[in-house]
Structure 1
């Protein structure tokens, strides 16, 4: 007989690891725990994808932001698992507290990151500026909390019915990985398109705390003291109230943040299936600006020198058939149509909403001289890379690549050797290609990398820039080195704008 204070025999579980007092049968209890694992895993992955998506939108360079979020979060998950080992004796209470904290932190992460970006911007231009610091903090905090879930859930499921460690781990991680799959698919196909980044983050937090609270307060409530139950109920209600209030105010908050980023002159702001499109100004003599995913795409004050420099060098030579890749705003098409002899212009634009805006918005359609009303212009909605695969060989005299900045990861394939190989095939032997290759002074390495990539595809190149502009361009031809006639361009007159001299002076860079 064992004395009251004698040590327990080896292999005897401690009192806090005894069978849980459940209100349901053990098999039902195990199913409910695994269902909770499924929901929590789905929510955890949504938080991760929310951070990656919003950081890529606000900060740019999605590869870097994804790497930062994933690496910091995975590291923090390991630390969280180690820390949670000390909480196993209070597994139910600890898990309930962690879920409440995770729902609050994860649900509010997107609005907080957006607010810091909107009202503070970059702090000193260093890598660790305000938005990036907060990105790391949220990745670390969410990773710690997600990592702490696993040991506690393992303890809870073992208290329902003891089983070998390998079987318990297999069951737990099967539910975890399936939940991650559902969360990973729900974010891009359901949450983001229908709710937007901020509301979907807050809704995920609400689902998270409801699942965690129901599991602890419903299934393991007998493991909690009366005080712990009351405290957990009050905490869950408070977190739900915060998330619900934030969701109700999300639209007003987003409008205020948008005005903080773009100023008080926002006239159009729409979320399309591709990007966020914002137009400011354009009325009462105010300058029109077009932003795509937070980046200035068109500056009505000085867009003309840019588009002249992009289009005019390629139009010296045969130009009956022209292909414009990107340029849904119609400004490159405007420059193409000003050249006599153009018979057909094909435009390939990924986002149809940009084309609709360029066609219907009074200020933007006036800026592009109503280019899309011209019967010679034909628009195709789709990816430029895929479209080039379908183009017959030697179909075009001129190809204008008015594409997203080469520094954005989303546009990387549009500056690849394969892309320029397809473009070379689409060009006539004496055809010309012009490419916006990025800022020449600010990022010379990017510019010269694009120029080298074009040459590696078998095209002869002439790099050049526009006077008074940092934008760099490359003129290329599959046959011989193309001629860049700067003298002829200096003599051009812009009759459409009152006979003033052209504002563009291009000069080669070797």
Structure 2
């Protein structure tokens, strides 16, 4: 409850500014603090999604813990209302220090301890408590500035708070992240937060402070700003050390694009590693297992026009261009930095066979979903080499709508699409790879996975779950036949075979490398 007598005691006589000016300055501080608070919140969600993955879960944890903590902070702030000015100044200094350094500490715990979940919950709780304590104290301060009824004061405070949250929410993805990055952006936000809170209390409410309180606030805010400025100066060295702790000491390229962080490790094409947002995407040691299994099953049939969605590293296109009768390959990659590295980096371009020099290949920098909606061409083969659906931005690429767009892009006769799949729990490591059924596996995906022959390569490095292939053949397509990526014999429709998956012999002929795989619908050629 708000004690309305606070606004009637003392009035505005002791303030160094006019009531209207003081009210404006308090609301401006509310605006800045709200913007900074939302930036801390978004920064925790973004960094947790990058470090831990599963952005939906991380956002739920951060938001729920923070909102709960804000309620606790509001209750605790009741004890500070008698010293609202100094209490607000100290709270803002603590919030600036904790919120500004949260990204550094979270990244450090991930790099050197290998675990950041506990730090994430701790920062969400601490930041939420401090943000929740702001409003009761600001309510007391604004009534101290200008005599106003409680309802009008609450309306003004929440209006400034919500507008500030809007500005902070838009500034984070469009200004702070692309211009400063996550670590420097959080440090800069903390410095602004400390400056705004300290300036309001030390100027507008300086007559309410004792000399000891004034010295304490000056020392606290200057110390916080100095710590954040020092951390900003050393952030490049910190990032370099953290990357070496995460990726090893052979980091050659580390760049934060407008889409993701791209890291290349290894000294040559034999030791190359490509990481996107901290996740191993390509390992030169065994990437062929994944890309051969992804591409070659779909290439047994009409293949003059091929569309590769994702795959800016050029490795899927390398397998496609092994076929001389392929006339055109279109690669749609959302991050131009990946295709630029695939062209110019000696190790990566050597690994992909310099495919971007092939005149048959055309690279398009666009989001696959948006591009498919606008494209009107038809392709014999569509290959999806896309990020894992556990990342929120990629879930639309595993939706019923996306598969519908892929179906429209396929040629009426002979069209295939192949996409990433996830290991379904089964007995032993040699079981078949199939798409995991869940929210991201819609009806077209389930239908396609049942229609396609399963492929069971050994999981490539960095693909603990993803790395298999699912395919769907449109009506009128030619039969599954020809030589596969391991030199195995193809299969054509015919009399049933009694062999089951994983067997070493077939009732009607020799077995494939890991079993017949005909599932009772084929015979050997």
User: Shared fold by TM > 0.5?
Assistant: yes
Q: 1:412 to 1:268 in 2, by over 3 A?
A: same
Contact 1:406 1:437 in 2 (8 A): no
Residue 457 of structure 2 is aligned to residue 467 of structure 1: yes
> What secondary structure does 2:274 align onto?
strand
Residue 208 of structure 2 is aligned to residue 252 of structure 1: no
- Output the CA distance in 1 between the equivalents of 2:6 and 2:302: 86
Q: Name which of 2, 5, 11 aligns with 1:19.
A: 11
Residue 303 of structure 2 is aligned to residue 332 of structure 1: no
Q: 1:482 to 1:245 in 2, by over 3 A?
A: farther
Residue 443 of structure 2 is aligned to residue 453 of structure 1: yes
What residue is the counterpart of 1:308 in the other structure? 292
Q: 1:488 to 1:46 in 2, by over 3 A?
A: closer
Q: Name which of 101, 123, 141 aligns with 2:126.
A: 141
- Output the CA distance in 1 between the equivalents of 2:29 and 2:21: 12
Structure 1 segments of 4+ aligned residues over 6 angstroms from their partners: 442-445, 457-460, 504-507
What residue is the counterpart of 2:40 in the other structure? 47
Residue 380 of structure 2 is aligned to residue 397 of structure 1: yes
Q: Name which of 57, 62, 67 aligns with 2:60.
A: 67
Q: 1:14 to 1:49 in 2, by over 3 A?
A: closer
What residue is the counterpart of 1:116 in the other structure? 109
Q: Name which of 28, 37, 42 aligns with 2:30.
A: 37
What residue is the counterpart of 2:165 in the other structure? 180
> What secondary structure does 1:29 align onto?
helix
- Output the CA distance in 1 between the equivalents of 2:339 and 2:514: 29
Select the structure that is richer in helix.
Answer: 1
Q: Name structure 2 gaps, 5 residues minimum.
A: 460-464, 490-512, 520-525
Q: Name structure 1 gaps, 5 residues minimum.
A: 1-10, 122-129, 494-503
What residue is the counterpart of 1:4 in the other structure? none
- Output the CA distance in 2 between the equivalents of 1:234 and 1:215: 15
Q: 1:237 to 1:489 in 2, by over 3 A?
A: closer
1:357-436 to 2 correspondence within 5 Å? Answer: 357-392=341-376, 395-428=378-411, 429-436=413-420
Contact 2:403 2:444 in 1 (8 A): yes
> What secondary structure does 2:389 align onto?
coil
- Output the CA distance in 1 between the equivalents of 2:224 and 2:173: 25
Contact 2:73 2:132 in 1 (8 A): yes
Q: Deviations over 1:352-383 (max 9, x none)?
A: 00000000000000000000100000111101
Q: TM-score, normalised by structure 1?
A: 0.89
> What secondary structure does 1:13 align onto?
helix
What residue is the counterpart of 1:498 in the other structure? none
What residue is the counterpart of 1:6 in the other structure? none
Contact 2:6 2:143 in 1 (8 A): no
- Output the CA distance in 2 between the equivalents of 1:166 and 1:348: 55
What residue is the counterpart of 1:106 in the other structure? 99
Q: Deviations over 1:95-140 (max 9, x none)?
A: 011001000000000000000001111xxxxxxxx31111111011
Aligned residue pair count: 481
Residue 301 of structure 2 is aligned to residue 320 of structure 1: no
Q: 1:42 to 1:151 in 2, by over 3 A?
A: same
- Output the CA distance in 1 between the equivalents of 2:49 and 2:4: 52
Q: 1:458 deviation in Å?
A: 7.4
What residue is the counterpart of 2:330 in the other structure? 346
Q: 1:12 to 1:115 in 2, by over 3 A?
A: closer
Q: 1:265 deviation in Å?
A: 0.4
Contact 2:270 2:284 in 1 (8 A): no
Q: Deviations over 1:450-490 (max 9, x none)?
A: 66633467787215233322632101112168855586554
Q: Name which of 287, 297, 301 aligns with 2:281.
A: 297
- Output the CA distance in 2 between the equivalents of 1:346 and 1:252: 40
